Amino acid sequence: MRAHIVTLPGDGVGPEVTAAAVAVLDAVAAHYDHHFHFEEHQIGGCAIDATGEPLPAASLEACKAADAVLLGAVGGPKWSDPNAPVRPEQGLLALRAALGVYANLRPLQVHPALAELSPLKNEKLKNVDVLFVRELTGGAYFGAKTRTIDTATDECKYTVAEVERVTRRAFELARERHKHVTSVDKANVLETSRLWRSTVQRVAAEFPDVKLEHQLVDSMAMLLLTQPGKYDVVVTENLFGDILTDEAAALAGSLGLLPSASLGEGKGGLYEPIHGSAPDIAGKGVANPTGAILSAAMLLRHSLGLEEEASTVEAAVADVLERGPHTRDIGGSAGTKDVLEAVLAAIDEHACNAAAFLRWGRACG
Ligand code: NAD
Ligand code: IPM
Ligand code: MN
């Protein structure tokens, strides 16, 4: 198949991990006879430096015309002055809104070889397989902001339609998994959460085969640490989802491991690791590319419909997590490129075997 993919490497470690994800997609294209055309654009701090804007019009237009968008990370100390007129993160938020990608899928799995790295006891990490569905284009991130010398406000607003569509997506995904949705809110305090809860409750009636439970966000933060194996699909609003998924990443062993897919109504999507620009390690070639590579796998699955190719990439990543090499954040001493090379070698093995099975009913070699 042919696909047109826009890459937005961004700032800090963004370019390092995006290059690894592109190399993986190139390898997939070569093995499975696809043609992926990549077009690179700017977003974030580098775009501010070059054009004065965090999301230049050319970048946005290219993203809108693409089959999928692969993003690294934006931001960093250079652009973090609280009085700066414009910030890199505004570019990312504007992109998410313009693409209408309201459902942000953030899967969490704990690889057994990394369970030691988690602050939790090993036995608590058995069977951890959670899919967070974070609402991505509403809530406090997008409400009106005010600021005077001594007061500031961020409006948090949700409409029924916004809650309905992300809830439906979460239930549809749960149907393909373990048929259990946990909706997280703060309905004991926030009006937006009461609207969220009643809307989720109503949508749930369309999915009688899926079990729904509600959880307040403060206790959910605790339950993720005490009973992480209990959850299947977790749906929540934008800000709660942001916070809970960084917490979840600690269970997996590192923020550098988790991928995400942001989806709207069409086939297109925005794919990015959940971590940021990691200024403390940027430019050193030591960033963990796993979250970005697994985001590329999600791109293959959700935007291009290439399930087998996606599974091949995931299996290759699992092999490398199992046997190394590992970057520093997960206890190793390897660089980004060492991990990439190992993943590419594992893709060779898996793709070769898969293709040989299809053609001749046996593995290669
Ligand atoms: P961060 O995610 O950049 O880093 C937090 C910690 O995790 C750091 O110690 C970092 O070294 C480590 N880490 C992150 N990714 C890693 C990787 N791939 N491999 C190894 N270690 C990794 O969060 P922060 O420091 O709070 O934020 C830095 C900047 O990134 C801020 O400007 C923030 O707004 C931005 N940010 C951007 C995105 C995004 O573009 N999607 C996401 C989060 C934060
Ligand atoms: C993320 C990031 C972003 C968010 C920031 C950089 C705007 O933390 O993708 O998780 O809060 O959504
Ligand atoms: Mn975040």
Question: What percent of the chain shows pLDDT beyond 90?
Answer: 92
Cα 238 to chain centroid, rounded: 13
Write down the pLDDT at residue 365: 45
Looking at the CA of residue 14, tell me the nearest atom of ligand 1: 40
Tokens of 79: 């652009």
Q: Is 85 in the same domain as 176?
A: no
Over residues 205-259, the pLDDT tens digits come to: 999 999 999 999 999 999 999 999 999 999 999 999 999 999 999 999 999 999 9
Q: pLDDT tens digit string along 34-55? A: 999 999 999 999 999 999 999 9
Domain limits at 55?
1-102+278-365
For ligand 2, mutation pick of 242, 243, 274 (most atoms within 8 Å of CB): 242
What token pair was written down for 140? 């406090």
d(CA 273, ligand 3 centre) in Å: 10
Nearest alpha carbon, ligand 2 atom 4: 242
- Looking from the CA of 125 toward its CB, the CA atoms found within 13 Å total 21
99: pLDDT strictly greater than 70? yes
pLDDT per position as a tens digit, 283-292 = 999 999 999 9
> What per-residue confidence (pLDDT) applies to 364?
57
277: CA distance to ligand 1 center in Å? Answer: 5
Q: Which residues contact 321 (CB under 8 A, 6 or more apart)?
A: 111, 113, 114, 290, 330
Ligand with minimal distance to 75 CA: 1
Q: Check if 279 has its Cβ closer than 6 Å to any atom of ligand 1.
A: yes
**Ligand 2 mean position, distance from CA 263 (Å):** 16
Residue 243 resides in a domain: no
Q: How confident is the model at residue 362 (pLDDT cuts 50, 70, 90)?
A: low
Rounded Cα–Cα distance for residues 32 and 201 (Å): 43
Q: Decide if 141 is catalytic.
A: yes
pLDDT at 355: 65
**Range with the poorest average pLDDT among 173-187, 287-301, 344-358:** 344-358
**From the candidates 186, 271, 329, 338, which is the catalytic residue?**
186
Model pLDDT, residue 118: 87
Average pLDDT over residues 332-353: 95
**What pLDDT was estimated at residue 351?**
86
Cα 313 from Cα 315, distance rounded (Å): 5
Tell me the percentage of the chain whose pLDDT exceeds 70. 97
Instruction: Give the C-alpha separation, 87 to 98, whole Å.
Output: 17
**Per-residue confidence band for 15, with pLDDT thresholds at 50, 70 and 90:** very high
Q: Is 218 a catalytic residue?
A: yes
For residue range 131-182, list pLDDT tens digits in order: 999 999 999 999 999 999 999 999 999 999 999 999 999 999 999 999 999 9
Residue whose CA is at the smallest distance from ligand 1 atom 16: 256
Same domain (yes/no): 87, 8: yes
Which CATH number characterizes residue 75's domain? 3.40.718.10
Establish whether 271 is a catalytic residue: no
What's the pLDDT at 7? 99
* 209 catalytically annotated: no
Residue 77, amino acid: P
266 domain-assigned: no
Structure letter (DSSP) for residue 327? B
Chain segment 59-79, per-residue pLDDT in tens: 999 999 999 999 999 999 999
* Residue 186 scores a pLDDT above 90: yes
Confirm whether 121 is a catalytic residue: no
Whether residues 286 and 346 fall in one domain: yes
What pLDDT is attached to residue 357?
63
Helix (H) or strand (E) holding 287: none
Cα–Cα distance measured from residue 201 to residue 182, given in angstroms and rounded to the nearest whole number: 11
Where do the DSSP E strands lie in the chain?
Answer: 2-10, 35-40, 68-73, 103-109, 129-135, 145-147, 152-154, 180-185, 211-216, 233-236, 261-263, 269-271
Total of domains in the chain: 2
185 is in an annotated binding site: no
pLDDT for residue 361 is more than 80: no
Q: Which atom of ligand 2 sits closest to the CA of residue 92?
A: 7
Q: How many angstroms separate the Cα of 280 from the Cα of each of 76, 147, 249, 276, 313?
A: 9, 31, 18, 11, 28
Q: Is residue 212 part of a domain?
A: yes
Residue after which a domain boundary falls, among 237, 258, 286: 237
Last residue of a domain, one of 208, 237, 266: 237
Q: Give the predicted TM-score (pTM) of the model.
A: 0.97
